[in-house]
Structures are given as C-alpha cells and as structure tokens.
Structure 1
Amino acid sequence: MSLFEIVPFNCRLRIYRRQASSTMRFRPCIDIHAGEVKQIVGSTLTDAEGVGPVTNFVASQSAGDFARMYKKDGLVGGHVIMLGASEANTNAALDTLQSYPGGLQVGGGINADNCQFFVEKGASHVIVTSYVFRDGQIDFERLEKLKQLIGKEHLVLDLSCRKKVEDNKFYVMTDRWQKFTTTSIDEALFHRLAEYCDEFLVHAVDVEGKRCGIQQELVELLAKWSPLPVTYAGGASSLDDLDFVERIGSGKVDLSIGSALDIFGGDIRYEDVVAWDKKRGEN
C-alpha cells in the first residue's frame, strides 16, 4: 500500500496526502525567487533595501520543468515556496501546479484571502506560517478561519525555527525567518496545532542552505513530539543523510534536500535520491 493516499477534492482533483507510518520518504522542493528557481541561504533573506540574499544556485529550467520532473519520477508531497510577494513568483508557482496538479504543496504569503485560490489551482496543501502569528503568538482565530475555508486536510503549518542560546529552546521564525516569535516548540504545541492541519514542515533555519549537516537534536524532537507527518529541511550534505534522518527520526520524519542536490548545483545525485525514495515507497 502506498504511503500517500489519493483522495478527491471537489470531485475533480486528485491530491496526495501523506499517511501516518514509520516509513520515511524524501520530499522534493522548488524555491522561487524573482520568478526563478533558486537555492538561497534562508537566514539571509531580508527586507532591507538594496540587500539581496546569499544565493547558492539559479536554475536555467522553469519551476514547471522541475514539477514535471518530480511527477515523472514519482516524488510526491514536495513543497513550492514563493520567496517574496510578486506576480512573477505567483505565476511560477501556478506553473508548477498546472504541471503537477495534486502533487505539490505551496507556501509563501499564504493567508485567508488566497488559500482557496491555490488549492483550487491544484495545490494538495497550502503552507502557512506568518499569517497565523500575531505579536509573536499563534492567532487561533486565524487558524480556525483557514481550517473552515479549506479544511485541515489541505493545510500544512510551517514551524521553521532557530535555537536561542538563552534558554536552549527552538523558537518559531516568521516573516521570511527574520523574526523570532515568542513561541517555542514542544510536544504540547504540536498536539494542539494538529487539530488544525494535516502536516508540519520544519526548516532548521540555522543550517538551511549551508550544507553543514543535519540538526540532529531537532530531528529527534520532531520524531518524538509530532503526531502528524512532519518534514525536516536544512543542512543535508550527502546521500547518507537520508539514512541518518531515517535512523534518528525513527522513520517518522521525512527529509527535504535542496542545495546539496546536483540539480541545484550540489554533489548528491538526484537519481540516487529518487532510487532511495522508490525503495521506501515499495515497502
């Protein structure tokens, strides 16, 4: 049986939903900046005028090209992130959804005004962070509104975080990872938020885009605390990291790899990752 269930949406679109299991999967990604597919060091994103992010890679292929490749290779549950609000980013994201309807999640500037639009255009889920935080705290009224608009089965909550040295806890980051919230992650938080969403996505902001190694402590906490499917992203540098996350995450934490893949200018062969995932999908 596949770990991803195909379910109908509005009787016209088939979407992929991750089933709870102890078999880890690889999750692909498409990061869009200024309408192009890029790999960026996430912690360098800023609103400061004239200051651009540190860019690891800019693809010559379109976002839709990557989506079609993921579809062809049977990779499901990947995330498309729009880095910044622009018409170019929106159009590129829509290209991915048209190319792989029901197979990708979309995030970046998602709110109550546009969440239905992206689901109707083919996103299996929308990914939300900043919209559900206000003054550093979770706004449960906004969460409930999203749940009512699209249903928890179409919502992924992004709890990307950084560790504070003051208390050794991981805190959720918002606004393109520029701002610390006052919300630290713990088991109670995951269980409460599980009432509103279908999955969690967690970027380890301190190591994301740097290919400097998996943040082991965070993966172990996600495996221990999350009652829902959860994807970790950040720091992967070799094919062995898939086996490493599978082991320390007890098979409960999926892994996304970006900058380290050869399709994004890195050293890990994309074909090897596809083969690794295919074996897990056959279990």
Structure 2
Amino acid sequence: MTRFRPCIDLHSGQVKQIVGGTLSADPSALQTNHISALPAAHFAELYKTHALSGGHVIMLGPDNEQAATKALSAWPGRLQVGGGINPSNARMWIERGAEKVIVTSYLFPEAKFSQERLNTLLFDSLGGDRSKLVIDLSCRRQGDIWVVAMNKWQTLTDMEVNGGTIKSLEDFCSEFLVHAADNEGLQRGIDEELVERLGQWCSKPVTYAGGGKSIEDLERVKTLSAGGVDLTIGSALDIFGGKAVKFSDCVDWNTRQGV
C-alpha cells in the first residue's frame, strides 16, 4: 500500500532541499530551495514521534557524516542512509544505527554496472543480508526511457531502468529507491509514467522521489502504481520551507492507509 516516506537530504552538513539536476562540481550552479536552521537529528526525532519509518538520509557530497550519524542515533534502526556507500563503510553505517544502506555510484565504475561490485557489497560487507541493502536506481529521462544516473545524478550509466533490470536486481536487495532527477526539487509534478512502470516492474518495495507538489500526489501515486510505490515529498513540505504540502497531512495519509 502506498505510503508517504520521509527524507533528510544533507549537503555540507546541513539539511537542504536542492534542485537535483544542479548538483555538480561547480558550486555556483547549485540551486537550493531551502536550508534548514534545524539539525538532521531534529527531523529524525520528528519522524520517530510520528512513527514514519523507512525514511532515507542522503549525504550529497562530503562533510555530512557527523550530521547523518546524529540522525541515525536519534532513531536507531528505522532510517536508511545513502551517499558514498561502499564495502569499506557499509557495515559501519549499519552499526551506527542505519536500518539499511542505499547504494548507487559504487555499483557503476566508469559508469558501467558491475555485478562483481554488487556481490562484494552484499556478501562480503553485509554478510549476504539482503534486508540491509537498498539499490538506488535514480535516473534521468532520455526520450522514452530512463537511465540510471550517478555522481550526484550528473553522469549517465549504461543501465536502463526497466522490467528486466529490476528483475535482475531483486534477488540482491530488499527494496529500491528511485529519484527522478529531472523532477527533483522542481515541484512541477511527479513523472507519472515512471511511477506507473515502477508499479508494474517491482515486486519488492520501491520509493519514488521527485516533483511531488501536493498531498493529492500520494493518491495519484497509489492509483498509478496500484499501491505498489511509496512517495517521498521534499521541497513542497512545510517542514522544509514549502507552502504546498503540510507534513501533518502526510502523517494523516499514512494513518488512513493503516501503515
């Protein structure tokens, strides 16, 4: 059943809402919708208060480890963490309190998918425990298809997001996270076609993020995906400076869904 999933996006140690497509090596290109005066741990405690588990803490670049660690400590075992995850640190993040680790870029050396790297992360670092791993297939639309994007969503890989890809990866993880990077932070609406396809392709839990701009988007995702896809709303939320969606309404939505 579709549910609202919370997030904590970290950039330079602060909780921020960023236009995803502007993340690059050029700091002057960055477009930021909101910089919170509150620390990451505050939002973790808020989610704990309202029993909003399964949220993702994403470290966008360096200098975010301390903030992420404090968020995980505020609600141990209920938040997922991503951003720079690899075999050398995956177990460490689980020990710091992450429910699951989220991986993207490590799986794509030179922008090409590596099954060997996925095996190393899952079996060597996580002891083969698929329940601890989320595969991030965040992507950019290329005509009629979606292509996984890495390196802060700037580099396209050789992997298309489709039914075959999803099926080949489902045995190696417990769920998927998919940011529609072209929609991320723009509050211009979700990629409805992608949401519908994810509902058809995925037999495991999947969370979509990117473009959510109203509480009605939760109902839209539920309908499009037949309840198979969860939704993250970021920049539009009042707790992140937005004016279109009240956090309390998202909490109420989950309550009505019985989740």
- Pair in the same fold by TM > 0.5: yes
Deviations 1:230-257 (A, max 9, x none): 0000111111111111110100000000
* Number of equivalent positions: 255
Q: Following TM superposition, by how much is the alpha carbon of 1:82 offset from its aligned partner in structure 2, in angstroms? A: 0.5
Contact 2:148 2:156 in 1 (8 A): yes
Look up the equivalent residue of 1:202 and give its one-letter code. V
* % same residue: 47
The residue number in structure 2 matching 1:30 is 8
The residue number in structure 2 matching 1:43 is 21
Contact 1:25 1:281 in 2 (8 A): no
Q: Following TM superposition, by how much is the alpha carbon of 1:179 offset from its aligned partner in structure 2, in angstroms? A: 0.4
CA distance in 2, matches of 1:278, 1:100: 20
The residue number in structure 2 matching 1:118 is 93
- 1:137 matched to 2:115? The reply is no
Q: Following TM superposition, by how much is the alpha carbon of 1:58 offset from its aligned partner in structure 2, in angstroms? A: 0.6
Unaligned runs of 5+ in 2: none
Which residue of 17, 24, 32 maps to 1:55?
Answer: 32
Deviations 1:68-114 (A, max 9, x none): 0000011010000001022xx10000001100101100000111110
CA distance in 1, matches of 2:145, 2:238: 33
Q: Following TM superposition, by how much is the alpha carbon of 1:135 offset from its aligned partner in structure 2, in angstroms? A: 2.8
Look up the equivalent residue of 2:217 and give its one-letter code. D
User: What's the secondary structure of 2:33's corresponding residue?
Assistant: strand
The residue number in structure 1 matching 2:224 is 248
Look up the equivalent residue of 2:209 and give its one-letter code. A
Which residue of 125, 133, 147 maps to 1:155?
Answer: 133
The residue number in structure 1 matching 2:207 is 231
Q: Following TM superposition, by how much is the alpha carbon of 1:138 offset from its aligned partner in structure 2, in angstroms? A: 1.3
Unaligned runs of 5+ in 1: 1-22
CA distance in 2, matches of 1:122, 1:195: 24
Look up the equivalent residue of 2:152 and give its one-letter code. R
Which residue of 170, 182, 198 maps to 1:222?
Answer: 198
Contact 1:41 1:56 in 2 (8 A): yes
Higher helix share: 2
The residue number in structure 2 matching 1:275 is 252
CA distance in 1, matches of 2:190, 2:152: 21
Q: Following TM superposition, by how much is the alpha carbon of 1:51 offset from its aligned partner in structure 2, in angstroms? A: 2.3
Look up the equivalent residue of 1:60 and give its one-letter code. A
The residue number in structure 1 matching 2:168 is 192
Cα RMSD (Å): 1.0
The residue number in structure 2 matching 1:13 is none
The runs of at least 4 aligned residues of structure 1 exceeding 4 Å deviation read: none
Q: Following TM superposition, by how much is the alpha carbon of 1:137 offset from its aligned partner in structure 2, in angstroms? A: 2.1
Deviations 1:175-212 (A, max 9, x none): 00000112111111101111111100000111110000
Which residue of 169, 177, 186 maps to 2:145?
Answer: 169
The residue number in structure 1 matching 2:158 is 182
Look up the equivalent residue of 1:24 and give its one-letter code. T
Q: Following TM superposition, by how much is the alpha carbon of 1:47 offset from its aligned partner in structure 2, in angstroms? A: 1.0
Look up the equivalent residue of 2:171 and give its one-letter code. E
